[in-house]
Structure 1
């Protein structure tokens, strides 16, 4: 019986041939040369997370890594296209400035949060706005809205959960 040991600090979970294969899959998937090392790191991280989670290592690490790399390439394309679509929408509104570094990401986040708030039911949107924009506490919101504190807490919980899910779907967080 062969026992596998977890890689120690500094040990690469992928051997050199697997690294080449992952980079090839990423490149064939359209990931730019400048982003290949980031994609490779993501594959390594997922392999390490799998081991840390108590899962058995894949039987064929190279094949598993290639599949993960193809998914990373697809995610890269989706994120790039989403950013392009958002930039086009903001450009039509006159809100996108390519010259200011970091501004695109903050505007993208602001737009996604605004769209997420619009998608919430009015009662949930109301408590989120009061909590995070008006900076009211739960007791203050309960008094202001004329509802029990427990209702405020449950609406806040549901609204925050919905917003987290929305931001994950849009891959903003």
Structure 2
């Protein structure tokens, strides 16, 4: 792995000298690890999740090296940017979980005094989801339960946006037909 820029010390010197990423050497030195922890903590990541965040940064650096890509010019700055991105990802995931929790709580609240109608609807939707092909079920869950936009779903699945839209349309149509067939709606 090639390292350029400022002089390297310790593990960086080992990597610059052609050290193998699989040889057990830690790609982050102690100062870089402290910086990553600080960026994660200042980004709002809880103390209990900091070790996982540091490991994610290490993993991304090792993946970069294993993929044959050149090491960043300034490993410390690169690690800080990755840590900042991880903190944003953590917040997004937390918001998604909160929204999902709110939606699930709303499903549990009876729409009518008996609550029977909403629970019947929930069961029918769950059964309908189970009957969908995997690709359709996946986009429905990502769109309506994980609250991801179509563009993000397409990027994550590696398919065109039009494919995601088509799968959503087909799945919703099938679910709607099933609910009418079962006389739930």
Q: What aligned pairs does 1:18-57 form with structure 2 within 5 A after superposition?
A: 18-57=32-71
TM-score calculated relative to the size of structure 2: 0.53
TM-superposed CA distance for 1:89, in Å, is 1.1
TM-superposed CA distance for 1:67, in Å, is 0.2
Describe the shift of the 1:92–1:131 C-alpha distance in structure 2 as closer, same or farther (beyond 3 A).
Answer: closer
Gaps of 5+ in 2: 5-15, 110-125, 158-185
Q: Distance in 2 between matches of 1:131 and 1:54?
A: 38
Report the structure number with the largest CA radius of gyration: 2
Deviations 1:119-173 (A, max 9, x none): xxxxxxxxx94656xxxxxxxxxxxxxxxxxxxxxxx7xx589679867847x99
Q: Distance in 1 between matches of 2:51 and 2:137?
A: 34
Q: Distance in 2 between matches of 1:10 and 1:65?
A: 19
Q: Distance in 2 between matches of 1:87 and 1:160?
A: 20
Q: What aligned pairs does 1:102-117 form with structure 2 within 5 A after superposition?
A: none
TM-superposed CA distance for 1:94, in Å, is 1.0
SS of corresponding position for 1:12: coil
Deviations 1:65-120 (A, max 9, x none): 0000000000000000110011011111118xxxxxxxxxxxxxxxxxx7xx7xxx
Gaps of 5+ in 1: 96-113, 118-127, 133-155
Q: What aligned pairs does 1:63-74 form with structure 2 within 5 A after superposition?
A: 63-74=77-88
